Amino acid sequence: MTDFPPSDPVDLDPVALTGRLIACPSVTPATGGVFDALQAMVEPLGFTVHRWIEGQDATGHEGPVENLFAVRHGPAGSRHFGFAGHLDVVPAGEGWTAHAFQPEVRGNLLYGRGAVDMKGAIACMVAALADIPADAGTISLIITGDEEGEAQHGTRALMERMAQLGEKPDLILVGEPTSVHRLGDMMKIGRRGSINAWFTVEGREGHVAYPHLADNPLPRLVALLADLDAMELDHGTDWFQPSNLEITEITVGNKATNVIPHRGMGRISIRFNDTHSGAGLCARLEEIAARHGAVARPKIYGEPFLTPPGEFSAMIAAAVEAETGLIPEPSTSGGTSDARFLKSIAPVIEFGLCNATMHKRDEAVALDDLYALTRIYRRIVLAALS
- Residue 369: its H or E element: helix 367-385
What are the start-end ranges of the E strands in 78-117?
A: 80-86, 104-106, 109-111
Q: Which among 180, 113, 198 is positioned nearest to 369, based on CA atoms?
A: 180
Pairwise CA distance, residues 48 & 42, whole Å: 8
Q: What is the pLDDT of residue 55?
A: 86
Q: Is 246 a catalytic residue?
A: no
Known binding residues are 86, 117, 148, 176, 359
Q: Which residues of the chain have pLDDT under 50?
A: 7, 58
Active-site residue flag, 88: yes
Do residues 367 and 320 both lie within one domain? yes
Q: Is residue 184 included in any domain, yes or no?
A: yes
* Domain match, 290 and 364 both: no
Give helix 218-229 / helix 278-291 axis angle, nearest 10°. 140
- For 380, the domain range is 14-191+304-385
Cα separation, 180 vs 352, whole angstroms: 10
Given 54, 66, 88, 146, which residue is catalytic?
Answer: 88
Return the C-alpha torsion angle 331, 334, 339, 344, nearest 10: 70
| Average pLDDT for the chain | 94
Q: Does 187 lie in the same domain as 48?
A: yes
Domain boundary among 271, 302, 333: 302
268-294 pLDDT tens trace: 999 999 999 999 999 999 999 999 999
Q: Which of 147, 274, 303, 338 is catalytic?
A: 147
Of 268, 302, 336, the residue at which a domain comes to its end is 302
Q: Do 294 and 309 lie in a common domain?
A: no
Q: Which residues carry a binding-site annotation for Zn(2+)?
A: 86, 117, 148, 176, 359
Number of domains comprising the chain: 2
Query: Residue 342: inside a domain, yes or no?
Result: yes
Classify residue 9: in a domain, yes or no: no
